[in-house]
């Protein structure tokens, strides 16, 4: 039933998949990363006099933290998460054998007042050859309507169409990432989950998050991206790739299920951890926007979504 739901709807929620002790370790590590504990030129140390809250307020997202943090590298290989991935990532392919590789991690901090991300499809940024890109969104805090949980548009992945994208219309509500457009989003559903739950979603699924309008508390999440090991990955090759585009294959990957069919190519370290500052985007006056959020939620939830299994 889980595999069928993922193939049909494009996403799957597995509640309480990560143990509370592991979530606590991830919270501590997020603060360590923000403080610059790990040796990385793009993660600058913060003054020791600053509290964890003060440090985290400076961040919206850390990209590729698994390159420097053993804790987050361990989450990329988390046994329970990998067991799900080896069943669903390319379940739409009749002869897929369950082999999976990881190529990206992102740690979202999202303090109060910080922006969401507009509607988008992850394959717009990380292109696979077989439509197998899969995000594993690990809730570090409870994700709610108030603090900016995920929203998904069920079934929007099915035909493998990448919608056009442009700069978001509301730069106060969303970060600077492009916004997909040209579709009806009235069937969108919020995915509210407890800390420790994991939301898996296909790379063609339209999804978004709204700003964190809560008066206090973060909406932290670790998002790792995976794909079938058999697919090439023509990603991050710059403006002038060498050779045919059809043969390009990003090889800075981590195998998490099965053997690497392209092991003969070797592994090439190309990326580095880096920070997306919290100043990129924002949602302005919190007091004003709390009332705006209440009205928006009434509108968004006016349709009965109880029949959606999420």
Q: What is the pLDDT of residues 236-262, one digit of tens each?
A: 755 566 677 788 899 999 999 999 999
Cβ atoms of 262 and 53 closer than 8 Å: no
For 197-213, what is the mean pLDDT?
97
Give the per-residue pLDDT at 42.
67
Rounded Cα distance between 149 and 143, Å, is: 5
Cβ pair 137, 201 in contact under 8 A: yes
Q: Are 111 and 281 in contact (CB under 8 A)?
A: no
Does 3 have pLDDT greater than 60?
A: yes
What's this model's pTM, rounded to 2 decimal places?
A: 0.86
Q: Average pLDDT, stretch 15-24?
A: 98
Nearest to residue 134, comparing CAs of 123, 118, 147? 123
Q: What is the pLDDT of residue 269?
A: 82
**What are the sequence ranges of the domains in the chain?**
2-300
Of the candidate CATH numbers 3.30.479.30, 3.20.20.70, 3.40.980.10, 2.60.120.620, the domain formed by 2-300 belongs to 2.60.120.620
End-to-end CA distance of the chain: 13
pLDDT digits (tens, 9 = 90+) for 120-165: 999 999 999 999 999 999 999 999 999 999 999 999 999 999 999 9
Residue-level pLDDT at 277: 58
**What is the pLDDT, as a whole number, of residue 187?**
97
pLDDT at 73: 94
């Amino acid at each position: 039933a889980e595999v069928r739901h993922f193939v049909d709807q494009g996403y799957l929620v597995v509640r309480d998949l990560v143990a509370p002790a592991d979530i606590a370790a991830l919270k501590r590590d997020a603060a360590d990363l923000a403080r610059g504990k790990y040796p990385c030129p793009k993660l600058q140390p913060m003054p020791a006099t600053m509290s964890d809250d003060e440090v985290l307020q400076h961040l919206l997202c850390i990209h590729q933290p698994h390159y420097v943090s053993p804790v987050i590298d361990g989450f990329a290989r988390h046994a329970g998460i990998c067991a799900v991935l080896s069943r669903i990532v390319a379940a739409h392919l009749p002869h897929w054998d369950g082999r999976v590789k990881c190529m990206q991690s992102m740690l979202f901090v999202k303090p109060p007042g910080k922006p969401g991300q507009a509607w988008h499809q992850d394959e717009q940024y990380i292109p696979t050859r077989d439509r197998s890109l899969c995000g594993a969104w690990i809730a570090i805090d409870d994700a709610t309507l108030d603090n900016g949980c995920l929203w998904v548009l069920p079934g929007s992945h099915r035909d493998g169409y990448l919608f056009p994208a442009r700069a978001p219309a509301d730069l106060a509500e969303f970060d600077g990432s492009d916004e997909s457009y040209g579709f009806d989003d009235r069937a969108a559903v919020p995915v509210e989950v407890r800390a420790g739950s994991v939301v898996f979603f296909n790379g063609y699924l339209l999804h978004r998050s709204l700003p964190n309008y809560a008066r206090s508390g973060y909406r932290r999440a670790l998002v790792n991206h995976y794909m079938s090991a058999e697919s090439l990955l023509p990603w991050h090759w710059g403006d002038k790739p060498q050779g045919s585009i059809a043969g390009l294959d990003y090889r800075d990957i981590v195998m998490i299920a099965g053997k690497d069919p392209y092991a003969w190519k070797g592994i090439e370290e190309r990326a580095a951890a880096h920070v997306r500052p919290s100043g990129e985007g924002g949602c302005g006056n919190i007091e004003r926007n709390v009332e705006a959020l209440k009205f928006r939620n009434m509108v968004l939830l006016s349709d009965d979504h109880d029949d959606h299994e999420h």
